[in-house]
Amino acid sequence: MKPQGLTIAAVILAALAGVLYWSNHHKPAEPKPSADTPPAILSLKEENIARIDLKKRDTPEIVLTRDGSGKWQMTEPKPLAVDQATVSSMVTTLTGLNSDRLVEDKANNLTQYGLNSPVLEVDLTEKNGKTHKLLVGDDTPTGSAAYAKIEGDPRVFTLASYNKTSIDKGPKDLRDKRLITVDSDKISRLELIAKNQDVEFGRDKDQWQIVKPRPLRADGLQVEELVRKVKDAQMDTGISDEDAKKAAAAFAAGKPVATVKITDPSGTQELQVRKDKDNYYAKSSMVDGIYKVSNELGTGLDKSLDDFRNKKLFDFGFNDPNKIEMHDGSKSYVFTKSGEDWWANGKKMDVTSVQNFLDKLRDLSATKFVDTGFTTPTIALTVTSNDGKRIEKVSIAKNGDKYIAQRENEPSLYELDSKTVDDLTHAASDVKPAQAAAAKK
């Protein structure tokens, strides 16, 4: 290469090195906010808000206060429990309230915006006593926003209509609409009076038990579903006074469906449900008035004792037991689990065939409960689970084309379908050693 060419290449290389060095040591400047970015109307910390006053034209003032635990309640126009989620959402909107745009930086004539006599005034009081007054005036000509300002601040903004809607609330919007307000996790007792039966449930930790009319095993899923339906029952706060009168008349003339009493640490709450023609109506001990409720609630409460009894013969559930014993006439089976393996007579058993037998055992359920029919047992089952802490024994006797089963130390009799029992005995006899099962494959 000629000397002149080498010189040019060296200059270019030096220039590129300089550019690379500069780019690595000089970060681009952060973009500055645009002058057109709408400023925030309010920027406060949610946890500092202790009181909210909502003042609207020609309507009573609404006062919301927060207690030491952080729970909101309505004190004006009358004391009412409020929907905590609804109020919290409103507080979130207010404390981080953004404008749609800045209309005037220093407004001298508030009348043109309807802010001399606001449609809505929201006073936010912090724990330290400092108050922020939000004034909301007329809607903009397009109707997509409303004029707003903070008292003491000369600026006028537009507030998006969806933000206005989220803070422009009345007592009916804010109140707790639940007919029963117990804490689901702390319910200790539940009583259902329906179908001329008085059924009472008790809960020990997460385990439900029938305690009335007599101690019985309860189907926990069915009891929890009952609790859910009661907890989900809500009033319709949007009905007219005329509709409220009709609901009261329908309840008075209706046929009683059920009465539910639920107890938690705060006390006992009661819900009465009646049916008039095709509709259900409810009266709660927690709120005034009569309310139309869903058919799901009505049919969910129209249950008998047997609907809540545990029809399964065994309680080991989805956990594998530690040991299974079955005596079927002259045949006997004993399966023991060690780690992930099942054993019988010192031989490792085929896990698939054991699992099939276990599934049949787990699903062993009554088609109904009976009072008589249990004679001499033909099948005896013993299942040890929970690391030996739970031992369940079940005896099964033949009765015509059915089977009757009984758990040890329990008076209840469970009627079983013959196919269910036949499938169980076949599954037990089909359990094979692991080597035999592998050879067969």
Distance from C-alpha of 111 to C-alpha of 117, rounded to nearest angstrom: 8
Planar angle of CA 275, 219, 266, nearest 5 degrees:
70
Q: Note whether 137 and 220 are same-domain residues.
A: no
Q: Note whether 67 and 132 are same-domain residues.
A: yes
Q: Note whether 381 and 286 are same-domain residues.
A: no
Question: 369 is in which domain, residue-wise?
Answer: 323-434
Domain boundary among 174, 209, 225: 174
DSSP-derived secondary structure letter, 424: H
- Among residues 246, 145, 256, 242, the alpha carbon closest in space to that of 195 is found at 256
Q: Note whether 299 and 337 are same-domain residues.
A: no
In a domain, 440, yes or no: no
Distance from C-alpha of 222 to C-alpha of 48, rounded to nearest angstrom: 43
> Are the C-beta atoms of 171 and 86 separated by less than 8 Å?
no
Total number of domains constituting the chain: 3
Distance from C-alpha of 42 to C-alpha of 31, rounded to nearest angstrom: 24
> Are the C-beta atoms of 72 and 82 separated by less than 8 Å?
yes
In a domain, 23, yes or no: no
In a domain, 19, yes or no: no
> Are the C-beta atoms of 349 and 342 separated by less than 8 Å?
yes
Q: Indicate the helix (H) or strand (E) that contains 301.
A: helix 295-301
Q: Mind listing the pLDDT tens digit of every residue in the chain (441 residues)?
A: 444 554 555 545 555 555 445 444 443 333 344 446 789 999 999 999 999 999 998 899 999 999 988 999 999 999 999 999 999 999 999 999 999 999 999 999 999 999 999 999 999 999 999 999 999 999 999 999 999 999 999 999 999 999 999 999 999 999 999 999 999 889 999 999 999 999 999 998 889 999 999 999 999 999 999 999 999 999 888 888 899 999 999 999 999 999 999 999 999 999 999 999 989 999 999 998 999 999 999 999 999 999 999 999 999 988 889 999 999 999 999 999 999 999 999 999 999 999 999 999 999 999 999 999 999 999 999 999 999 999 999 999 999 999 999 999 999 999 999 999 999 999 999 999 998 655 565
Q: Note whether 68 and 123 are same-domain residues.
A: yes
CATH of the domain at 412: 2.60.40
Q: Note whether 304 and 341 are same-domain residues.
A: no
Residue 87 structure tokens:
């109020």
